[in-house]
Amino acid sequence: MPKKKKDEYQEWLKQDFSNLFEALPLKEHQRHYLRSRWLDQVLWMEGRAGRARDMHYKLRLTTILGGVIIPALVSLNFVDLGNKQLKQALSASTFILSQVVAISAAGEQFFNYGERWRHYRRGVESLKTQGWQYFELSGPYHTFKTHEEAFHSFAGQVEDVLQRDVEVYATQVTQAKKEGDKKDEAPQANGRVSETPRPSPEVPRKP
């Protein structure tokens, strides 16, 4: 999805929910929570999910297409084309493309964009589900007569979702990257393991 369309969608989502908040019979501090906590997290996770998805697709597609093209280029290198410059160009193209594929595969493994995308998508959909159930007083809120009565229960559910989101990110999303790092580590000639520090895993921000 182009960046402009993403921005338009987020602006529409923000405006749509803001109008809905104003229509609910709530106190001002409760509306403030909906805007500054629930909606802010929904928009933030939407953005993160979209960026992770785009990077995942780009890197995976580059790796797949490059993996298909490289064997063809390699086979052409063994064909007598009768043109030295063309043969040199093919050799250079094969080398460059192989490096691009290797970098794309390494980047996807290190940053784990696919799992990040799924993680943020699950999180934002959970928040949206809680929001719509609260707005409609359905699901876990069906026993409440008014939105004001259901607000404390809703806020508790939202905080539970966000807390689980942080815990899942810390345990599952970063675990795959750590396992990939361990596979890439190799003992040095003197028997010692590389002491290069690993980057700290990124944890979703809290407003």
Asked if the model's pLDDT at residue 189 lies above 50, the reply is no
Q: Tell me which residue has tokens 């064909």.
A: 79
Asked if the model's pLDDT at residue 154 lies above 50, the reply is yes
Confirm whether 206 is domain-assigned: no
Provide the terminal-to-terminal Cα distance of the chain, rounded to the nearest Å: 26
What residues are paired with 193 via a beta bridge? 187
Confirm whether 207 is domain-assigned: no
* AA letter at 99: Q
Q: Provide the residue range defining the domain that includes 36.
A: 3-184
Confirm whether 202 is domain-assigned: no
74 neighbors 49 (Cβ within 8 angstroms): no
Confirm whether 127 is domain-assigned: yes
Confirm whether 55 is domain-assigned: yes
Domains of the chain: total: 1
Asked if the model's pLDDT at residue 85 lies above 50, the reply is yes
Confirm whether 191 is domain-assigned: no
Q: pTM (2 decimals)? A: 0.73
Confirm whether 195 is domain-assigned: no
What residues are paired with 162 via a beta bridge? none
